[in-house]
């Protein structure tokens, strides 16, 4: 399939961009705003990082965010989130509490002012706090995949009040163990927090899982795994929430060949699987499911190493959500995307 003629709206680039900035490594949308991370921008030193806020209607640059206390190798912009007038930007290699403890910065999108800087009150070196971020109303959810509460790099996620900066909850997996990387992906919706642990081993090494929590009580509501999951599926590498739906990517699933990838849609109330998505033209090493999003009755799923426009040119598939067991895509959009496959490769090496 080819995209309809009017599918392409806008191409955004950094007006001050330079080689190896990695502009586009992370993206977020809210209303007429787009927030785009450039984690290797050098404004505050090599790889200090930045993020750019654009008006999606005009393409105009509204703000360029950098960390006021940023320094070399902070990787500010590795993760981004938008909600209303707020922008949350992760800097997983910030060193406030030791090397690579990490932080996240909350900005006002209208004024560009820094409202809060979040760090883990119990942070320690190599926690990578800020690896993932999510915003919803007055809540900020921040993943720390290197946290060691349940073993080395078992991972955690922290829920903050964006108004006061207070820590409301710290989430960990009750059954967590080393190299689970709980917190690799996070999502918020109403009173729900969905947290991916792509290195969980329930269905084999690195098969992956995702945990659904009540943000008010901190209680675990569901642990979600793929019924057909297997080794190195990396289920939970990406997550999204909408209403009573959870979309979870498994970029290492092998249904269409090695690492072709898939994504699963679940009912958050019952934990039931509603649909499994795969690319109709999928092939090995596409990493379909490396990124996911939900909006209205649509599911958008990225495949960053699809080869339609050349090696690893990437694509994204737009599906209509329905109860049928074999969904068909409503359109196919070519994009240049990025997902942390390098992190997955490092993880494979760590677990050997």
8 falls in which pLDDT band (50, 70, 90)? low
Q: What is the pLDDT of residues 212-240, one digit of tens each?
A: 999 999 999 999 999 999 999 999 999 99
In total, the chain counts a number of residues equal to 352
Distance CA 24, CA 276 (A): 27
- Give buried/exposed letters for 289-319 (b at 16+ CB in 10 A, else e): bbbbbbeeeebbbbbbbbeeeeebebbbbbb
Mean pLDDT (whole number) for 288-317: 90
- Give the count of beta carbons closer than 10 Å to the beta carbon of residue 27: 18
- The pTM of this model reads 0.90
Whether 330 has a pLDDT exceeding 80, the answer reads: no
The arithmetic mean of pLDDT across residues 270-274, rounded, is 94
pLDDT digits (tens, 9 = 90+) for 60-71: 999 999 999 999
* Half-sphere exposure (Cβ direction) of 318: Cα atoms closer than 13 Å: 15
Domain ranges of the chain: 173-352
Percent of the chain past pLDDT 70, that is, above it, reads 89
DSSP 148-205: -BTBTT-BEEEEEETTT--EEEEE--TT--TT--EEEEEEEETTEEEEEETT--BTBT
Backbone phi, then psi, for 39, in 5-degree steps? -65, -15
Tokens of 269: 């109330």
**Whether the predicted pLDDT of 35 surpasses 50:** yes
Question: Phi and psi for 14 in degrees, rounded to 5?
Answer: -80, 125
**By the 8 A CB rule, do 156 and 144 touch?**
yes
Q: Which of 1.10.10.10, 3.40.1190.20, 3.30.1540.20, 2.130.10.130 would CATH assign to domain 173-352?
A: 2.130.10.130
- Report the SS3 class of residue 60: coil
Q: Exposure pattern of 35-74 as b/e (b: 16+ CB <10 Å)?
A: bbbbbbbeebeebbbbbbbbeeeeeeebbbbbbeebbebb
Whether pLDDT at 347 is above 50: no
Band of pLDDT at residue 7, cut at 50, 70 and 90? low
């Amino acid at each position: 399939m080819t995209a309809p003629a009017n599918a392409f709206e806008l191409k955004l680039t950094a007006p001050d961009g330079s080689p190896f900035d990695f502009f586009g490594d992370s993206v977020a949308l809210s209303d007429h705003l787009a927030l785009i991370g450039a984690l290797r921008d050098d404004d505050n030193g090599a790889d200090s990082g930045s993020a750019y806020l654009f008006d999606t209607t005009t393409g105009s640059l509204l703000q360029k965010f950098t960390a006021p206390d940023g320094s070399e190798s902070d990787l500010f912009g590795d993760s981004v989130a938008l909600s209303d007038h707020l922008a949350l930007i992760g800097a997983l290699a910030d060193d406030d509490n030791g090397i690579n403890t990490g932080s996240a910065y909350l900005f006002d999108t209208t004024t560009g002012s820094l409202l809060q800087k979040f760090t883990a009150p119990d942070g320690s070196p190599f926690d990578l706090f800020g690896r993932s971020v999510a915003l919803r109303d007055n809540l900020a959810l921040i993943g720390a995949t290197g946290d060691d509460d349940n073993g080395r790099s078992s991972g955690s996620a922290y829920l903050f009040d964006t108004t006061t900066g207070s820590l409301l909850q710290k989430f960990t997996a009750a059954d967590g163990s080393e190299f689970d990387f709980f917190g690799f992906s996070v999502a918020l919706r109403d009173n729900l927090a969905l947290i991916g642990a792509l290195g969980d081993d329930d269905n084999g090494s690195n098969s992956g899982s995702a945990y659904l929590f009540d943000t008010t009580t901190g209680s675990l509501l569901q642990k979600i795994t793929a019924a057909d999951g297997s080794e190195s599926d990396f289920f939970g590498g990406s997550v999204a929430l909408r209403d009573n739906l959870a979309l979870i990517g498994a970029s290492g699933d092998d249904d269409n060949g090695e690492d072709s990838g898939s994504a699963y849609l679940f009912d958050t109330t019952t934990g039931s699987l509603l649909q499994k998505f795969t690319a109709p033209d999928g092939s090995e090493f596409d990493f379909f499911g490396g990124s996911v999003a939900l909006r209205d009755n649509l599911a958008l799923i990225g495949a960053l190493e699809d080869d339609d426009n050349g090696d690893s040119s990437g694509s994204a598939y737009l599906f209509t959500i329905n109860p049928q067991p074999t969904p068909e895509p409503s359109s196919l959009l070519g994009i240049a995307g990025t997902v942390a496959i390098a992190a997955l490769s490092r993880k494979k090496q760590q677990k050997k």
